[in-house]
Amino acid sequence: MTAQLELRNLSRHFGGIRAVDGVSFAIAPGRITGLVGPNGAGKSTLFNVVTGTIRPSGGTVLFEGRPLAAGQPGAMARRGLIRSFQSTMSWPELGVRRHLEQAALLRALAAPRLLLRRGRIAEARRRAARLADDILEFTGLAAVAEAPVATLPYGSQKIVGVAMALAAEPTLLLADEPAAGLNGAETLAMEALLRRIHRERGVSLVVVEHDLPMIMRLCDRLIALADGRVIADGTPAEVRRSRHFIEAYLGSDADAA
Amino acid sequence: MGRAATAVAALAAAAIALAPFLAGDGFVYHVAILVAIEGLLAVSLHLTLRIGQLSLAQGGFMGIGAYASALLARDAGLPFPLALVGAVVIAAAIAAALGTVILRVRGVQFALLTFGLGEAIVLIFVEFVVPFGGNNGLMGIPPASLGPLSLQARPAFYGFALAVVFLVLLAVRGLLAGTPGMVLRSLADNEPLSRSLGTDELAWRRLVFAASAAVAAISGSLYAHYLGYISPEAFNVGATVKALIMNVVGGVGLLAGPLIGALILVPLPELFRASVRYQQLLYGLSLLALMLFLPRGLGGLLAGRSRP
């Protein structure tokens, strides 16, 4: 079985800084994988290279067996690899439902040549409306469907960010610090939502997160990065026992975890 | 804008558009035709501004339209409507091909790159005496006609130009206000988000850039067949800068903005003609005053906060 996402010796340098330095791993379909590491470990850079936002300095990213076309941001998304958004304030004055519809429409009308197909816009609009209803229900945002996103509490705004990614119908969802800035109850709600996205919608997840207890509960597999390299890779229990991992986190979150 | 305001604006636009017919004066027709031609160039620039990229090559694309249309009609013997369509297709194809490369560049660099492109296009007209006539340009361009209907008389040509402006505005509105407009706004407002959702940004930008070149080519074709004579310097960066000023004066966020700007800036020098010595100075000072006191342009007065 081909891996859903595979990184082969991936690196990205900024001047002399090796932000990502020869990272390789393969992720099987249908998993929840956590990506952890202290600040500056290279998680964000890795995310940006995988989604095609920045070019790798070396190595390859394969999604469902096919390599990422360099210099084509958006190409990965069109193939079903969608990232969630840390900031949902794209259209602060628009309601939640409109956010989801826009996300679905943007995904459906990715290339302008799609406009040439007769009835494509009307069809895309109808489909976006149906998808928005479905996701509002699924994420529990139905009650605030018409509220401008700017008026929602922060926890709900983060849910909107994940819901928008869902509206783009991913097969693999990259969740970028979904719990950052959330309080205890909100973190639990986010964790439950991610679990349901995996179980009920069949979406694989890769989650970057600082909240170690949360990510250890959530994931089947953890990959720990430090200084741009993989320092531990295994089940959460294995990674927690790894000497390199403990060293990287020494005296910080490791105790709490 | 509310319904009533929209109706008033539409009536005012119709009144202004039809005013030259009432005046019935040859010079008024002439100025009105230039407003339409230069307004179209300003609309073409407006399209590139909507994707957040200032193209200084629009005058060059107008030139491509003018030369292509002139050569197709004069040397290839095509009737005017076919020459116009041919010019539009040629300019749009060139823009689409160049866009694949240059639209990857953003901001000031894009403005500089298109500045160079615009000047290069003009230089090609100057250097390649065959078929472009060098510095002398092209003469004896056949006047416009639609089948048996001659558009040589100014009233007829103005009527045709008016219809063209109307159709171009409808098409541009379809691109900017509908669902494609939503994609383009999203791309302009929040590029990372659009990208994360799979928008093929280069393809969308290329579409708008090609459309902008098409509109500039229409302007160029009208210009060539109206005057019957073209020369390279009419299409240099100065023409584009004038179109930019029209956008700023009329209001950058409004589709009618470039036309409002053309309506003011094209006749403006004529107002100061009595004092020829100070014409340029007065023109400059009026521009300064407009920009200082109406930073959102004249269109901003009408439009409130809405976007078309």
pLDDT at B286: 76
pLDDT at B306: 46
Q: Distance (Å, rounded) from C-alpha A22 to C-alpha A15? A: 16
pLDDT at A71: 65
**Residue A205 β-bridge partners:** A32, A173
Kindly report the average pLDDT of chain B as a whole number: 90
Contact between B135 and B229 under an 8 Å Cβ cutoff? The reply is no
pLDDT at B187: 86
User: How close A87 comes to chain B (CA, Å)?
Assistant: 9
Top residue of A106, A114, A131, A160 to mutate, by most chain B CBs within 10 Å, is: A106
Q: Distance (Å, rounded) from C-alpha A74 to C-alpha A96? A: 23
**Residue A243 β-bridge partners:** none
> Does the pLDDT of residue A110 top 50, yes or no?
yes
A246 touches chain B (CB under 8 A): no
pLDDT at B251: 85
User: How close B296 comes to chain A (CA, Å)?
Assistant: 22
User: How close A129 comes to chain B (CA, Å)?
Assistant: 14
> Does the pLDDT of residue B154 top 80, yes or no?
yes
Q: Distance (Å, rounded) from C-alpha B291 to C-alpha B93? A: 36
pLDDT in tens, B68-78: 999 999 999 99
pLDDT at B226: 97
Nearest of B211, B302, B304 to residue B259 by alpha carbon: B302
The enclosing H or E element of B230 equals strand B229-230
> Does the pLDDT of residue A255 top 60, yes or no?
no
> Does the pLDDT of residue A252 top 60, yes or no?
no
Question: Checking phi first, is residue A105 left (phi over 0); if not, alpha (psi -120 to 50) or beta?
Answer: alpha
- Maximum separation of any 2 CA atoms in chain A, in Å: 61
A147 burial level (CB within 10 Å; 0-12, 13-18, 19+): middle
> Does the pLDDT of residue A54 top 90, yes or no?
no
Residue of A nearest to B187 (CA): A106
CB contact under 8 A, A106 and B199: yes
Averaging pLDDT over each range in A39-43, A90-94, A176-180, which range is the top one?
Answer: A176-180
Contact between B196 and A85 under an 8 Å Cβ cutoff? The reply is yes
pLDDT at B308: 41
Q: Distance (Å, rounded) from C-alpha A106 to C-alpha B185? A: 11
pLDDT at A70: 65
The enclosing H or E element of B149 equals strand B149-150
Query: Helical H runs in B75-150?
Result: 80-102, 107-127, 129-132
**Structure-token pair, residue A186:** 């909100």
pLDDT at A250: 64
pLDDT at A92: 77
Q: DSSP letter string over chain A?
A: ---SEEEEEEEEEETTEEEEEEEEEEE-TT-EEEEE-STTSSHHHHHHHHTTSS--SEEEEEETTEEPPTT-TTHHHHTTEEE--S--TTSTTSBHHHHHHHHHHHHHT-SGGGGGSTTHHHHHHHHHHHHHHHHHHHHT-GGGTTSBGGGS-HHHHHHHHHHHHHHT--SEEEEESTTTT--HHHHHHHHHHHHHHHHHH--EEEEE-S-HHHHHHH-SEEEEEETTEEEEEE-HHHHHH-HHHHHHTTTTHHHH-
Q: How far is CA B47 from the centre of its chain?
A: 9
Contacts of B288 (CB under 8 A, 6+ apart): none
Q: Distance (Å, rounded) from C-alpha A24 to C-alpha A10? A: 6
Residue of B nearest to A50 (CA): B196
Grouping H, G, I as helix, E, B as strand and the rest as coil, residue B210 is: helix
Of residues A88 and B53, the one with the higher pLDDT is: B53
User: How close B184 comes to chain A (CA, Å)?
Assistant: 10
pLDDT in tens, A197-212: 999 999 999 999 888 9
> Does the pLDDT of residue A104 top 50, yes or no?
yes
Q: Distance (Å, rounded) from C-alpha A141 to C-alpha A144? A: 6
> Does the pLDDT of residue A117 top 60, yes or no?
yes
pLDDT level of residue A172 (50, 70, 90 thresholds): very high
pLDDT at A236: 93
> Does the pLDDT of residue B126 top 60, yes or no?
yes
Top residue of A44, A48, A102 to mutate, by most chain B CBs within 10 Å, is: A102
- Which one-letter amino acid corresponds to residue A148? P
Q: Which residues of B touch A (CB under 8 A)?
A: 104, 178-180, 182-183, 186, 189-190, 192-204, 207
Q: Distance (Å, rounded) from C-alpha A106 to C-alpha A100? A: 10
Contacts of A242 (CB under 8 A, 6+ apart): A224, A231, A232, A234
Beta carbon pairs, A and B, within 8 Å: 76
The four Cα atoms A32, A33, A37, A39 give a dihedral, to 10 degrees, of -60
> Does the pLDDT of residue B289 top 90, yes or no?
no
Backbone torsions φ then ψ of A22, nearest 5 degrees: 70, 50
pLDDT in tens, A79-90: 999 988 765 566
Q: What is the mean pLDDT of residues B202-222?
A: 96
pLDDT at B307: 44
**Structure-token pair, residue A222:** 């953890």
What interface predicted TM-score (ipTM) does this complex get?
A: 0.79
A49 touches chain B (CB under 8 A): no
Nearest of B125, B139, B126, B116 to residue B240 by alpha carbon: B116
Q: Distance (Å, rounded) from C-alpha A54 to C-alpha A70? A: 9
pLDDT in tens, B88-100: 999 999 999 999 9
Rounded to 5°, the CA angle B13-B29-B217 comes to 75
User: How close A109 comes to chain B (CA, Å)?
Assistant: 7
> Does the pLDDT of residue A227 top 50, yes or no?
yes
Contact between B249 and B267 under an 8 Å Cβ cutoff? The reply is no
Which residue in the block uniquely carries the two structure tokens 């000497």? A243
pLDDT at A256: 46
Question: Residue B131, preceding bond cis, omega within 30 degrees?
Answer: yes
Q: What is the mean pLDDT of residues A1-18?
A: 89
Q: What is the mean pLDDT of residues B232-240?
A: 94
Q: Which of A85, A105, A121 sits opposite B193 (nearest CB)?
A: A85
B71 burial level (CB within 10 Å; 0-12, 13-18, 19+): buried
Of residues B42 and A71, the one with the higher pLDDT is: B42
Share of residues in chain B with pLDDT > 70 (%) = 96
Q: Distance (Å, rounded) from C-alpha B194 to C-alpha A51? A: 13
pLDDT level of residue B305 (50, 70, 90 thresholds): very low
Backbone torsions φ then ψ of A154, nearest 5 degrees: -55, -40
Share of residues in chain B with pLDDT > 90 (%) = 60
Tell me which of A37-51, A85-99, A200-214, B218-232 is least confident. A85-99
**Structure-token pair, residue B85:** 């369509």
